[in-house]
Structure formats: structure tokens, C-alpha cells
Chains A and B, each alone.
Chain A
Amino acid sequence: MKKVILMLLLFVSTGSIVAQENNKNNEIDSLVEAALLRKGYKPSKTQFMIRGYGHAGIESVKTNGETASSFNGGTFAPIFLFKHSDRLMFETELEFQISGGSLDVGFEYADIIYVLNKNMTIRAGKFLLPFGTFMERLHPSWINRFTTKPLGFGHDGITPGSGVGVELRGAFNIGSSILNYSIYNTNGPGLKTPDGEEPIEAGMLTFDNLKDNNNSRAFGGRIGILPFADSSTEIGASYYTTAKVGDRGSIYENLWANLYAFDFSFVKQIPSLSGIVDVKAQYNNSKVDNIIYEIEEEPGIFEDLDFDNESKSYYMQISYRPSMSQNNFINKLEFVGRYSKLETPVGAGFQTNKKEYSIGLNYWISWRSLIKFNYQNITGTGGHDIIGRFKQEGVYFHWAIGF
């Protein structure tokens, strides 16, 4: 009997030990499984991401009585971000666009970023210049409320869009205000001359200088102040200067250029207006040292172009989105208006005096995708390949998406 009881006790205790072992093994298995699972999803310190934007649409533009209507499709601007650590990153943006029936490829920027400390970051490479705010922050099609840029920006514009060089930038608090800054040194602009590809535009600055043409760098910078704690308002001032703009060895080499800009931004959700009010403005001024440009109008016939080489442009834009409306259709609408003006030197081959009025109605499908329906009216004189009066009316219907 004792033996039976002993056997039973042994059996029960052994079973208990085996059960405990099984439980332990299960526990270990689940821990290992969880660890492996975690390991599988653990992000590496090197991170790579593709973001960007694109748009497609249709537009009808009547220029000096001649109408051109076309689908505008396939613009694709990928942004590649390589984050190597919490301080080091490489960023680049390309732009593929169908223009005039062929594919244009643009190299917007490619720069290395290193965070030196919490108030200062260094960038080197080709980067968007903080000359005002439009080209650096607002030009992507999913951010720009219009399908076009204001006068004075982009092709034949008077403002620098990007540059090759090095930049220090950062921001810090002063009480409840914020001050941000940027200073940079780049290859600087070039100058269109009578012996160049577009002699009629002699005296116009070009900002696509991937290689310095005269060993004279451009210095520039921007200071922005956000005086209120809610960051609703920002006022900025930018400066860009270079001692030489012409090609080395040419008679234009020692011409200098000074540019400055002021920008303003106010964005706030105002409950009494049931929506978001967004006001943007920028004033640009460009002054290039004067010289007489001798243009060959016809073989053997020359004309001297003697003008004060100062250009200016500005734009003002206001938009309102009834974002607080209870109606799910209305709160995605946005009403927008813009006025811009461009004046280039009187007497220059590229003499221009134009003004633009635009209105638009946008519909936000999501926070990063919108349909734009714009009407634009530009009147004035001059412009690219235009002599005399210029009148353009355009209706644009675009769909833009950021990703």
C-alpha cells in the first residue's frame, strides 16, 4: 500500500515538474517569438524614403488673340530622403515634366544636411535658396494654391531659385517669438550677354550656374521673425549679393549685382470666420551694375542698349477655406485670389511691364491632394519673345497630389 502511495506521489510530483517545464518552455518560446518579431520590424538607423508630388490637368490659354488648349500631364517630382542618423541626411529632388511634346528633366536640389547643434544646421550641395519664401517653401504644385507661379518667379524670373554652395540655418526662441535665419555662400549668378544664346536678353541674370563662371561667390541670407506665440505671422527679409556676374575675362566680369526681398505670411484658423485665412506676399528687387550692351540686330547692324538695370516684382495672395463648416463638401473648398506685378528695365531687350490677376476655386480631396480651377489674366507689355502689348487669359484645371 505504501508503495502504491509513494508511486502515486512520485507520479504527481513528476507530472507537476513536467507541466512546469512545459510552461517554462512555452514562456521561452513566446519570448523568443516576440523578440524575433521585434527584430523583424526594428527600424535600421539608415532610413530611406521617397516623397514628392505630381500633377496633371487641362488648360486653355489665349495669348494676344491666339488660343492654345492642351492636356497638361505627367509632371512627377520625386524627393529622395536618406536619413543616416538623427543628425545626418541627404535629400534630393528631380522634376520630370512633359513640355512642348518632349520630356524635360530638372535637377531641383541635392544637398547634405548635418545638424551641428539644436540652433544650427549646415547644408552643402545644390539647395533651394531662402530668397523670400515662395521658391523654397511654396512652389510645389500640391502647396501652391494656383497652377502657375506669380510673375517674377520661374523662367525669366528675377529671383534666385537654387544655388550650389554651403548654408548655415536654424531657429531659436526669443521669449514667445521665434527668429529663424539662413546665411549662404553659392556660386552666384551668371549674366546673359550679346554674344550668348539669347542676345536680346542681355543684362538679365541667370541662376542656373552649376559651376562658378568668375571665381566670385554670391553671399546671401534671410532673417525671419515670427513675433506671436501661435506662429501665425512671419515677416522676413532676404539679401543676395555678388561682386561679379559676367564670365571671367569678359568685359562683363566685374559687374556686380544686389538683390533683396521682403516676405510676409499670415495663416490662422479664425473661429468667427469659420475657417482658415492664409495671406502671403513677397517683394523682390534686383539691381545689376550698368553697362552698355551692343546688340547685333541684323548682320553688321548694331544697336546700343543703355538702361538702368533694375527689376522688381511682387505678389500678394489671399485664400480662405471654410474648414470649420459642418458641411463635408463646403469645408473642403478653398477660395483664392492673387495679384502680381513684374517690371524689368525700360530700354532693355527684355523690357517687361506686366500685371497679373488670378482667382481660383480649389477642392481638397485630402490634406495633400487638391483639384484647382483657376482663371488668370495677365496684361502689359514685353516678355519672353514678345515685343509690344501682351495680353493673356487662361483657364486651368489641375489635379495635384503630394506623397
Chain B
Amino acid sequence: MKTYKIFGATVIVFSAVLALTIGSCSAEQTAAYKNRSGAQLWGENCIRCHNTPSPASYNDTDWETISLHMKVRANLTDDQAGKIFEFIKSAN
């Protein structure tokens, strides 16, 4: 009985998330996401775990190393990682 309850709750939660995800596939939503700048993505994604880092904390070479490490650790998309670290390198 308990297993069914957990399974049911899981299905409900993921159905809701799926509905939100499908809703996000509209042309406007997709364009809104694609137009997000590196600065925006930097402000929104780093903070999911830790504070947004100061671009001046490392040089460009170090940022390249950190970018690969963080892309994998935080499961960033290729697009997110590219834009974020281009912004950081332009701002340090």
C-alpha cells in the first residue's frame, strides 16, 4: 500500500513538472531562454549551490579549467557553460 502511495505521489509530481516542461516548449519561451545573456545565466545558475563568483577571482586560463569542472559537476548545458564563462572572462 505504501509503495503505491509513493509511486502515486511520484507520478503526480512528475506529471506536474512534465506539464510545465511541455508548456515551456512554446516558441516564445524557447526564444526567451535562448536570448538569456551570459551575465543572466551566471547570476541564476552559480547561485543554485553557492554564491556567484567574482569574475576577478581567477584569470582566463584558470576560468577555462573551472568551466569544465563546473560544467560536469553542476550538469550545465553546453550553451549555459559557454555563455557563462565567456561573460566571466569578459568581466574579469
Contacts and interface: CB of A to CB of B under 8 A. Distances in A.
Interface of A: 43, 47-49, 51, 81, 83, 86, 89, 91, 113, 115, 118-119, 121, 123, 136-138, 142-143, 169-182, 224-225, 227-232, 234-235, 237, 262, 265, 267, 269, 276, 278, 285, 364, 366-368, 402
A43 to B, nearest CB: 4
Interface of B: 6, 10, 13-14, 17, 20-26, 29-30, 32-33, 36, 41, 43-45, 47-54, 57, 60-62, 64-66, 68-69, 71-80
A372 B81 CA distance: 31
Contact of A83 (B32, B49, B68, B73): B68
Contacts, number: 134
Contacts of A138: 49
8 contacts: A43-B61, A91-B69, A176-B24, A234-B48, A262-B13, A278-B47, A368-B50, A368-B51
B25 to A, nearest CB: 3
Given A137-B49, A174-B25, A234-B48, A83 B65 contact: yes
Prevailing SS type, chain B contact patch: helix
Contacts of B33: 173, 175-176, 229
B24 A172 contact: no
Contacts of A142: 50
Contacts of A265: 48
Contacts of B43: 269
A61 to B, nearest CB: 27
A113 B25 CA distance: 31
B32 to A, nearest CB: 6
Nearest to A136: B73
B78 A118 contact: yes
Contacts of A179: 21
A177 B20 contact: yes
A115 B60 CA distance: 20
B48 A81 contact: no
Nearest to A181: B75
Which among B20, B21, B76 has the highest number of chain A CB atoms within 10 Å? B21
Contact of B10 (A49, A182, A237): A237
A261 to B, nearest CB: 11
Nearest to A83: B65
B20 A47 contact: no
Given A178-B77, A225-B17, A227-B24, A364 B49 contact: no
A267 B43 CA distance: 11
A332 B43 CA distance: 17
